Amino acid sequence: MKFVITELIWNEGIEILKEMGEVIYDPNLWKKNEQLPSLLTDADALIVRNQTRVTGELLAQAPKLKVVGRLGVGLDNIELAAAREAGVKVVFARNANAISVVEYVFAAMFSFSRPLEKASQDVKQGNWDRKLFTREEIYGKTLGLIGVGEIGARLASRAKAFGMKVIGYDPFLPPYELACTDIGVNMTSLEKVLAEADYVSLHVPLNDQTRNLINRESLKTMKKTTFIINTARGGVINESDLYEALKSNIIAGAALDVLSKEPPEGNQLLELDNLMVTPHIAGLTEEAQVRTSELVARECVKVLCGQGSLCIVR
Ligand SMILES: NC(=O)c1ccc[n+]([C@@H]2O[C@H](COP(=O)([O-])OP(=O)(O)OC[C@H]3O[C@@H](n4cnc5c(N)ncnc54)[C@H](O)[C@@H]3O)[C@@H](O)[C@H]2O)c1
Ligand SMILES: O=C(O)CC[C@@H](O)C(=O)O
């Protein structure tokens, strides 16, 4: 078996693959458009993160390919219809980084509500301003979830433990899959989530329905005190509309782990004081990456061995 890996993977995953065959691994291969096709001519599996564009054109250059492994959850960089047409299965790291994303969302909420780093810097600069850093508890506040899947559900149960009220919008949730009321999420409309939440957190895939879901009109319906947190995909928020809303204090602040263009180029949002931004790290913890690398390696092998996998994209 030949495995081609174009982006960062942890050793635990590589070890599994090496036992099964040849492993070609270069974390920067996704940038090397001239090299990739020739490596794929006799590859059985292609393993990627979120930067390799897995297009129909690329798949056409990989006649032996049977499986694409996605070291993560978001599938917006993979042309699923083209993979289906080419008979190539796609497996992903179902739920492997969800807890890390949840903890990131708490870090973001606490950065707004208890800004330890800013306060610490202020003291180190010789100040002792206790009033300046008086904020609000998250206890009793409303967390609004847009998308209540693997991440949203885990975030909800932990937010309840902090005494938050949790409301959610997810029109595609199969009722047998997750009883949201059991985990304390009051499911409601998108309009209500936006109007009532003190913290809005996005957990939807990027697709034609969710692109620009948060835009000038929806931002206007939010409270002036609301913070929005985006760990989903940059395209879910219209960035120029968010820029205007933050600049004119239509909402209080935003934390973005994802941007429409990564790394950013000339993105005005980065100039704003009420914006926190991180380089797509919500799912990047040691634990999540070991789980992800092992899971995707194992599931690719299962597909190549003709066994079933619960991580195949349907
Ligand atoms: N920043 C990171 O490091 C990071 C890590 C993991 C996942 N993600 C992103 O988070 C997304 C969600 O991950 P997940 O594991 O919770 O996925 P998931 O598939 O378990 O959950 C997504 C939920 O969104 C719902 N949904 C789909 N379209 C919707 C719409 N138009 N409106 C409202 N809800 C809608 C689905 O019904 C589903 O319940 C991923 O697609 C990925 O893009 C980012
Ligand atoms: O591939 C990555 O590193 C990003 C991970 C994350 O956005 C995901 O969709 O799982």
- Token pair listed for 177: 């899959």
Contact criterion met (CB below 8 Å) for 269 and 242: yes
Separation of CA 283 and ligand 2 centre (Å): 6
The yes-or-no verdict on residue 231 having pLDDT over 60 is yes
Report pLDDT for 257.
98
Residue 287 predicted with pLDDT over 90: yes
What is the model's pLDDT at position 33? 85
Average pLDDT for the chain: 96
Q: Is 288 in the pocket of ligand 2 (CB under 6 A)?
A: no
CB of 102 shorter than 6 A to ligand 1? no
CATH class of domain segment(s) 2-96+286-304: alpha beta
The mean pLDDT value for 53-81 works out to: 97
Indicate where the chain has its CATH 3.40.50.720 domain(s).
Answer: 2-96+286-304, 98-277
Find the DSSP H helices in the chain.
11-18, 36-40, 56-60, 80-86, 98-113, 116-124, 150-161, 190-196, 216-220, 239-247, 286-304
In single-letter form, the type of residue at position 240 comes to: S
| Interval between CA 30 and ligand 2 midpoint (Å) | 15
pLDDT for residue 195 = 98
- pLDDT for 297 beyond 90: yes
How far from 50 is each of 9, 145, 189, CA to CA, in Å? 12, 23, 30
pLDDT of residue 181: 66
pLDDT score, position 295 = 98
Cα(149) to centroid of ligand 1, in Å?
6
pTM here is: 0.97
Residue 169's beta-bridge partner residues? Answer: 146
User: Where does 98-277 sit in CATH, by number?
Assistant: 3.40.50.720
184 pLDDT band (50/70/90 cuts)? confident
- At 177 the pLDDT is 53
> Which of these, 47, 5, 3, lies nearest to 25 by C-alpha position?
5
The half-sphere exposure of 31 on its side-chain side, counting CA atoms within 13 A, is 4
Poorest-confidence range of 58-62, 157-161, 177-181, 267-271? 177-181
What is the distance, to the nearest Å, from the Cα of residue 271 to the centroid of all Cα atoms in its chain? 23
Q: What is the mean pLDDT of residues 142-157?
A: 96
Place of tokens 């807890």: 99
Which atom of ligand 1 lies nearest, measured to the CA of 178? Answer: 39
Task: Kindly tell me the burial class for residue 311, based on how many C-beta atoms sit within 10 Å of its own C-beta (0-12, 13-18, 19 or more).
Answer: buried
205 upstream amide cis, omega within 30 of 0: no
Given a cut of 60, is residue 212 above it in pLDDT?
yes
Q: Is the pLDDT of residue 243 over 80?
A: yes
Is pLDDT at 176 greater than 60 in this prediction? no
The pLDDT of residue 163 is 97
Q: Say yes or no to pLDDT of 182 above 80.
A: no
Q: Which of 70, 203, 280, 291 is catalytic?
A: 280
pLDDT confidence of residue 178: 57
pLDDT digits (tens, 9 = 90+) for 123-132: 999 999 999 9
pLDDT tens, position by position, 69-102: 999 999 999 999 999 999 999 999 999 999 999 9
